[in-house]
Amino acid sequence: MKITTVFLDRDGVLNVNKSDYLLHEEDVSIHEDVPAAIKRLTKAGIQIIIVSNQAGIGKELITRRTAEAIFDKVICGSEANGGHIDDYYYCPHTPDEGCNCRKPGIGMFVRAKLEHDIIMEESVFVGDGFGDAQAAKHLKIPFYLVDQGWGPVTKVKCDAGNIPYIPVKNLGNAVKDIIKRNKG
């Protein structure tokens, strides 16, 4: 089965996840492997969708406007080699709000599926957080766990909780595997 959509977590996958919240545009730092990986997916005709928890908005640590400026910068940097990210979704709520969009909830994925005609059976998710791993499990889609950001912590939690994942160094390595699958 061919993979036609790749969902991406943002912080820790595309950009360096330095602390809990990325609050300033000038702190955006794109992982080195990312622009080439995004270009590779685009060239292969694979749709790319970002799904990101941004509870800093709900906690009033950051405005929506700044949050979106940061998204612009992350996307722009990720597309630097000529790749294209199709869309991004974020959950602005705090964990206490009990929304259904915050990962491990699947609200953002469901919305993306409707808006972009995504076939879930042909999708994978790349992330660094435990909520990412759990969301992928709920969706029954393969989960690539990067060894960056929360990755090492998440690996321990996944092992303890029997949550499946495919370990990779970074997005570049996940993309290598995705392209190989599509050729196989």
Residues annotated catalytic, as ranges: 9, 11
CB closer to Zn ion, 73 vs 102: 102
Buried b (16+ CB within 10 A) or exposed e, 48-69: bbbbbbbbbbbeeebeeebbee
102 interacts with Zn ion by CB under 5 A: yes
* Among Zn ion, Mg ion, none, partner that 102 touches (CB below 5 to 8 angstroms by kind): Zn ion
Please say whether the beta carbons of 22 and 161 come within 8 A.
no
* Residue 128 interacting entry, from Mg ion, Zn ion, none, C-beta within 5 to 8 Å by type: Mg ion
Cβ closest to Zn ion, residue 73 vs residue 93: 93
Place of tokens 């766990």: 145
- Report in angstroms how near the CB of residue 63 gets to Zn ion at its nearest: 17
The interaxial angle of helices 64-78 and 34-43, nearest 10 deg, is: 70
**Cα separation, 1 vs 181, whole angstroms:** 8
Taking residues 72 to 91 in sequence order and writing x for each that binds Zn ion by CB under 5 A, - otherwise, the string is: -------------------x
Among the listed ranges 13-21, 94-102, 144-152, 167-175, the one in contact with Zn ion (CB under 5 A) is: 94-102
